């Protein structure tokens, strides 16, 4: 007998499954993919052995002590610290925008106060007028020169839309650091799983009370465990797309997706860093990932490397949904889907797709722990 069906084996679904199994429940996890782990899944590149994150670079970081304590039950973490660089007009700058970026860009030697005053003066261009689009929003936050160099082209590529046609609300803040610190994340804890994401995810699923069935779609009526056979019979935690659950009854929610172009190059080191952004629209991809740099401590080949070029675009029906677009129309639809969710007996919607919300891994894990506490534990 199954006590709980979990649809989706990403971090949300596996956290729920692991916790409920620990309380003695029999949990069945299904996933339509042929592997567990959702988007955090990684695999060894066959030609080099280098760990590649199949669905885009995944950096773990958190300031949530409960989550940190929880994840350390399944894996240790390396001392990896994430840093990002960007190429603009043939020159490399540190990101996010910091004192180093500013002084390199303006060929200056400003201290923090002088740099702050400069950015404030350049950001005053709109003279108090409310930004009408993303372009004006960017200018009002950091001034035109820095915005046009580092944000405008990159954002245009991310959205495949002219920033003058995008709503100002896409960028609420553009933090500028008035120090030379270019550490990407500010969290208390950061690192990469020592023996990889998949080993970590497999250890979460490795419990006698958990059964995982892969290549099993919740909406495929030919599978023994599908929506119409299960809902109302057994409690369900659903982490797939919320619109799909309701057959798009309120219209489909819009997502951006990414295309990844993977290549093995016959060099030991291609770019000297894990992530290089490309700020200019002349370069079609948004960034290049070089996966060997996520694990400098590992014994990888010194004559080959794996790079992945990343392209961004709006998702079609058959694409993987990655980032919610979140237009006002999407938000209205989501409100109506939330009403529909309330009518579903003993179906709990969670995770990135089930709530139409971008969630970092630590947030997905944290919200799964809360769901177990508040909704699933009698």
In angstroms, what is the minimal distance from the CB of 82 to Na ion?
A: 9
Per CB under 6 A, 205 contacts ligand FAD:
no
Could you tell me which residues come within 8 angstroms of residue 171 by beta carbon, excluding any fewer than 6 positions away?
134, 137, 138, 141, 151, 155
Q: Scanning the structure block, which residue is given the tokens 């392209």?
A: 311
Query: Does residue 297 have an active-site annotation?
Result: no
Instruction: Give the nearer residue to ligand FAD in terms of CB position, either 58 or 99.
Output: 58
Sign of the CA dihedral with 110 first, then 114, 116, and 120 last: negative
Looking at 56-64, 204-212, 291-299, 340-348, which segment touches ligand FAD (CB under 6 A)?
56-64
Query: Does residue 352 have an active-site annotation?
Result: no
Instruction: Give the nearer residue to ligand FAD in terms of CB position, either 77 or 219.
Output: 219
Q: Which does 274 bind (CB under 5 to 8 A by kind): ligand FAD, Na ion, none?
A: none
Per CB under 5 A, 57 contacts Na ion:
yes
Per CB under 6 A, 138 contacts ligand FAD:
no
Instruction: Give the nearer residue to ligand FAD in terms of CB position, either 107 or 317.
Output: 317
Q: Which does 105 bind (CB under 5 to 8 A by kind): Na ion, ligand FAD, none?
A: none
**Contacting residue, 16, 27, 42, 58, with ligand FAD by CB under 6 A:** 58
Residue list 232-261, contact with ligand FAD (CB under 6 A): 239-240, 258
User: DSSP H helical segments within 47-161, as ranges?
Assistant: 65-71, 99-105, 112-123, 134-142, 144-146, 153-159
Q: Does residue 375 contact residue 33 with C-beta atoms inside 8 Å?
A: no
The 3-state DSSP class for residue 173 equals coil
Q: How many residues bind ligand FAD (CB under 6 A)?
A: 35
CA 142 to chain centre: 25
Could you tell me which residues come within 8 angstroms of residue 72 by beta carbon, excluding any fewer than 6 positions away?
none
**Contacting residue, 4, 33, 115, 315, with ligand FAD by CB under 6 A:** 33
Provide the pairing of β-strand 255-265 with 323-324: antiparallel
Residue 215, token pair as written in the block: 């290549």
**Contacting residue, 17, 20, 27, 31, with ligand FAD by CB under 6 A:** 31
**Contacting residue, 217, 280, 319, 344, with ligand FAD by CB under 6 A:** 217
Q: Indicate the length of the chain as a whole number.
A: 378
Query: Does residue 213 have an active-site annotation?
Result: no
Q: Which does 239 bind (CB under 5 to 8 A by kind): ligand FAD, Na ion, none?
A: ligand FAD
* Active-site entry in 310, 330, 333, 337: 310
What's the rounded Cα separation, in Å, for the pair 234 and 232?
6
- Rg of the chain over all Cα atoms, to the nearest angstrom: 22
Q: Which does 376 bind (CB under 5 to 8 A by kind): Na ion, ligand FAD, none?
A: none
**Contacting residue, 289, 351, 356, 371, with ligand FAD by CB under 6 A:** 351
Query: Does residue 332 have an active-site annotation?
Result: no
In angstroms, what is the minimal distance from the CB of 133 to ligand FAD?
A: 26
What's the rounded Cα separation, in Å, for the pair 281 and 157?
7
Query: Does residue 173 have an active-site annotation?
Result: yes
Looking at 35-43, 84-92, 186-194, 283-291, which segment touches ligand FAD (CB under 6 A)?
35-43
Query: Does residue 256 have an active-site annotation?
Result: yes
In angstroms, what is the minimal distance from the CB of 305 to ligand FAD?
A: 20
Residue 4: its H or E element:
strand 4-7
Instruction: Give the nearer residue to Na ion in terms of CB position, either 246 or 323.
Output: 323
3-state helix, strand, coil in the chain (%, to 5): 35, 20, 45
Q: CA distances (Å), 159 to each of 153, 154, 156, 163, 264, in order? A: 10, 9, 5, 8, 28
Q: Scanning the structure block, which residue is given the tokens 């996890």?
A: 29
DSSP annotation string for 220-260:
-TTSSS-HHHHTTTS-EEE-S-HHHHTTTTT-PPPEEEEEE
Which of 343, 277, 247 shows the shortest CA–CA distance to 57? 277
Query: Does residue 177 have an active-site annotation?
Result: yes
Per CB under 6 A, 360 contacts ligand FAD:
yes
Q: Which does 351 bind (CB under 5 to 8 A by kind): Na ion, ligand FAD, none?
A: ligand FAD
Residues that bind Na ion (CB under 5 A): 57
Q: Which residues are catalytic?
A: 173, 177, 256, 287, 310, 358, 360
Residues that bind ligand FAD (CB under 6 A): 7-13, 30-33, 38-40, 55-60, 217-219, 239-240, 258, 322, 351-353, 359-362, 364
């Amino acid at each position: 007998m199954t006590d709980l069906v979990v649809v989706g084996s990403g971090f949300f679904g596996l956290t729920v499954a692991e916790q409920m199994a620990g309380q003695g429940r029999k949990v069945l996890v299904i996933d339509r993919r042929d592997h567990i782990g959702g988007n955090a899944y990684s695999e060894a590149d066959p030609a080099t052995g280098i760990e590649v994150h199949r669905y885009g670079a995944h950096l773990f970081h958190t300031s949530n002590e409960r989550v940190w304590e929880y994840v350390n039950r399944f894996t240790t973490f390396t001392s990896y610290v994430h840093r990002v660089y960007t190429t603009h007009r043939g020159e490399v700058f540190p990101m996010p925008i910091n004192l180093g970026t500013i002084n390199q860009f303006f060929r200056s030697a400003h201290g923090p106060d002088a740099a702050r005053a400069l950015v404030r003066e350049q950001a005053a261009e709109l003279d108090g007028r409310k930004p009408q689009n993303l372009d004006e929003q960017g200018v009002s936050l950091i001034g035109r020169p820095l915005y046009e160099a580092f944000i405008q082209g990159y954002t245009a590529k991310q959205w495949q839309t002219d920033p003058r046609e995008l709503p100002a609300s896409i960028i609420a803040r553009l933090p500028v650091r008035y120090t030379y610190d270019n550490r990407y994340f500010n969290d208390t804890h950061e690192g990469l799983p020592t023996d990889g994401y998949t080993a970590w995810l497999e250890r979460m699923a490795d419990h006698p009370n958990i059964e995982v069935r892969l290549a099993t779609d919740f909406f495929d009526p030919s599978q023994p465990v599908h929506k119409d056979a299960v809902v109302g019979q057994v409690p369900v935690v659903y982490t797939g797309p919320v619109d799909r659950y309701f057959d798009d009854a309120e219209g489909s929610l819009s997502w951006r997706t990414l295309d990844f172009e993977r290549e093995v190059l016959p060099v030991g080191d291609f770019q000297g860093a894990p992530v290089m952004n490309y700020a200019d629209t002349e370069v079609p991809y948004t960034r290049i990932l070089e996966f060997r740099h996520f694990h400098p401590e590992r014994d990888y080949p010194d004559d080959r490397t794996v790079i992945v070029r990343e392209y961004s675009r709006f998702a079609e029906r058959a694409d993987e949904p990655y980032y919610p677009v979140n237009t006002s129309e999407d938000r209205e639809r989501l409100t109506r889907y939330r009403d529909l969710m309330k009518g579903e007996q003993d179906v709990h919607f969670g995770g990135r797709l089930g709530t139409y919300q971008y969630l970092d891994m630590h947030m997905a894990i944290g919200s799964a722990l809360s769901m177990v506490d508040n909704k699933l534990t009698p």
